[in-house]
Amino acid sequence: MEKVLYFFVHLGIPILILGALFTTRAKSRLGFILAKIFQIGCLLFLFLWGQYPMVGSYFLRYIILVVLVIVLYSAWRKWTAELPLLPESWKYWVITVILLVITPFLLYFNYQAIAGLRSSIESDANLGFPLNHGTYYVSSGGTTAIANNHFRSYPNSQQYAIDINQLNSFGSVSGNVLSSSSNKHLIYGQAVYSPCTGIVIEMKNDVSDNATTSMAVDHNFGRGNYIEMECEDLIISLVHLKEGSIIVKSGEHVEKGQRIAQVGNSGFSQEPHLHIQAARYQADSTLVGMPVTFDGQWLVRNMKFTKKNLE
């Protein structure tokens, strides 16, 4: 059911918007303008927030831009000053009022999505990218809750965490987008490398991987299998690792670029991916998330990039 909903949100909504363009006619200038703002806002939000590798291909998000151009062209062609300014029937007044209420919220979500992707935030820590030789994208990352599932309005250790997934040549995370099996995901079982030189201070290696998108996991095992490292004054956590794949031990010194584990789907994880975060202890002993760059690059939601061999 969840996968069906995902397909509807990412693909069904653009189809519905296209259908509305060709089957509905404006009844007032106010309604026409509000409808176009709403349609454009929906498409822009899907482009910024949508996870299209989950429903077929990363490149599908650019089809959204094509639909957006069609909406703008249609608005230009269909606009007429001969329409009445306001609706003339109660039915269209109801639709207009609904649009007046929900459109500001949609615009706010778009603002939050755009604001979360800005790279102006300063980072005083640079890590090595923990994966090797492939095309990757960031499924969650940024400085607002819309861009980053881990971001909260209060300081916490996950504040600037990112989730990383891997893409095949078609821009999909899986060899079969209709399958929810972990084994079908390209990133599942991929080697994880230490992003820094430091000491392993904590780890867990015996939590079973989720076979599918189900997360029937005890709260105490929410992180699944993980490695926590101290690198100078930063606490680095790599989370949702594959069961039994960790090849370092607590107290062990680890060099940057050293192979340490494999990507899994353990803990509170709906799909195989690598969760990585950096945090620093404050004066009151609380652990607060820190913004970091990876190989000098600030990584945010829907960013796609290629990583060459570490070895």
Provide the pLDDT for residue 290: 93
Alpha-carbon span 115 to 151, nearest angstrom: 13
Is the pLDDT at 118 greater than 60, yes or no?
A: yes
pLDDT band at 36; cut points 50, 70, 90 = very high
- Is 0.85 surpassed by the pTM of this model? yes
Q: What is the pLDDT of residues 197-219, one digit of tens each?
A: 999 999 999 999 988 766 667 77
Q: Cα–Cα distances in Å, from 135 out to 59, 141, 170, 186?
A: 13, 17, 11, 10
Q: Say how far apart CA 82 and CA 65 lie, in whole Å.
A: 30
Q: Give the pairing of strands 225-231 and 234-241.
A: antiparallel
The tokens for 239 are 């989370």
The phi, psi pair for 140, rounded to 5°, reads -155, 125
| pLDDT above 60 (res 183) | yes
The pLDDT of residue 170: 93
Higher pLDDT, 281 or 119: 281
Q: How far is CA 8 from CA 56, 155, 305, in A?
A: 13, 34, 27
Supply the pLDDT for residue 310: 45
Give how far the C-alpha of residue 124 lies from the chain's centroid of Cα atoms, to the nearest Å: 23
According to DSSP, the β-strands at 293-294 and 126-127 are: parallel
> Would you say the C-alpha torsion 17, 18, 23, 29 has a positive or negative sign?
positive
Query: For residue range 266-287, what is the model confidence (pLDDT) as tens digits?
Result: 999 989 999 999 999 998 889 9
**How confident is the prediction for the chain on average, in pLDDT?**
90
What mean pLDDT comes out for the span 136-156? 92
Beta bridge partners of 261: 192
- Residue 277: the pLDDT is 96
Distances (CA, A) of 111 to 44, 196, 249: 10, 34, 44
Stretch 254-265: mean pLDDT, rounded? 97
Q: Decide if pLDDT at 82 tops 60.
A: yes
Fold held by 126-307: Glucose Permease (Domain IIA) (2.70.70)
User: Among 57-66, 278-287, 302-311, where is mean pLDDT lowest?
Assistant: 302-311
Backbone angles phi, psi at 128, to 5 degrees: -80, 150
**Phi/psi zone of residue 240: left (φ > 0), alpha (ψ -120 to 50 degrees), beta?**
left
pLDDT score, position 119? 66
| Range(s) of the chain covered by CATH 2.70.70.10 | 126-307
Contacts 24+ apart (CB under 8 A), 95-102: 95/31, 96/28, 96/30, 96/31, 96/34, 99/31, 99/34, 99/35, 99/38, 100/34, 102/38
What value does the mean pLDDT take over residues 80-84?
79
* Predicted local confidence at residue 311, as pLDDT: 45
Report the range of poorest mean pLDDT among 76-80, 103-107, 266-270.
76-80
pLDDT over 90 at 47, yes or no: yes
Left, alpha or beta for 189 (phi > 0: left; psi -120 to 50: alpha)? Answer: left
Residues of the chain with pLDDT > 70: what percent?
A: 96
